[in-house]
Amino acid sequence: MKRILFVLSVVALFSLSSCSSYYYSVLESNDTIGEKNGNRDFVIENDSVFISYCFYGEDAPISITVYNKMDEPLFVDWQRSALIIDDVATSYYQEKAPIQGQTESSYSGDAYRWNRNYSITDGYSAGSFAGEIALPKGVSFIPPKSKVESTPLRLSNFPFDRIPKDQYTRQKFAKSNSSVVTVRVKKFTEEDTPLAFRSYLSLYTADQDNGKRKYSTFESSFYVSQLIKTGNVSPASFDAGKKQAGDFFYVHNVKGADAGLIVGAVAIGAAGIVIESTLTPNSY
Q: What is the pLDDT of residue 66?
A: 97
In-domain check, residue 6: no
Q: What is the pLDDT of residue 142?
A: 93
Strand locations in 232-265, DSSP E? Answer: 248-254
Q: Which of 1-5, 135-139, 141-145, 240-244 has the lowest mean pLDDT?
A: 1-5
Task: Give the model's confidence band at 240: pLDDT under 50 very low, under 70 low, under 90 confident, else very high.
Answer: low
Domain assignment present for residue 177? The answer is yes
Q: Could you give the dihedral angle defined by the CA atoms of residues 252, 258, 263 and 265, in that order, rounded to the nearest 10 degrees?
A: 80
| pLDDT interval class at 184 (50, 70, 90) | very high
User: pLDDT tens for residues 107-146?
Assistant: 444 443 333 444 444 554 555 545 554 445 788 999 999 9
Query: How many domains does the chain divide into?
Result: 1
The answer to whether residue 118 sits within a structural domain is no
In this structure, the number of other CB atoms found within 10 A of the CB of residue 11 comes to: 8
Q: Confidence band (pLDDT; 50, 70, 90) for 228?
A: very high
Alpha-carbon gap, residue 142 to 71, rounded angstroms = 11
User: Does residue 130 belong to any structural domain of this protein?
Assistant: no
Burial class of residue 211 in the structure, from the number of CB atoms within 10 Å of its CB (0-12 exposed, 13-18 middle, 19+ buried) = exposed
Among residues 61, 68, 96, the alpha carbon closest in space to that of 199 is found at: 61
Domain presence at residue 114: no
pLDDT classification of 5: cutoffs 50, 70, 90: very low
Closest CA to 248 of 46, 22, 65, 66: 22
Q: First CA to last CA across the chain, in angstroms? A: 34
Q: Which domain does 165 fall in, by range? A: 20-95+138-277
Has residue 13 been placed in a domain? no
Weakest-pLDDT range from 3-7, 27-31, 136-140, 141-145: 3-7
Q: What pLDDT does residue 110 have?
A: 45
What count of other Cβ atoms lies within 10 Å of the Cβ of residue 53? 22
Integer Cα distance of 154 and 197 in angstroms: 12
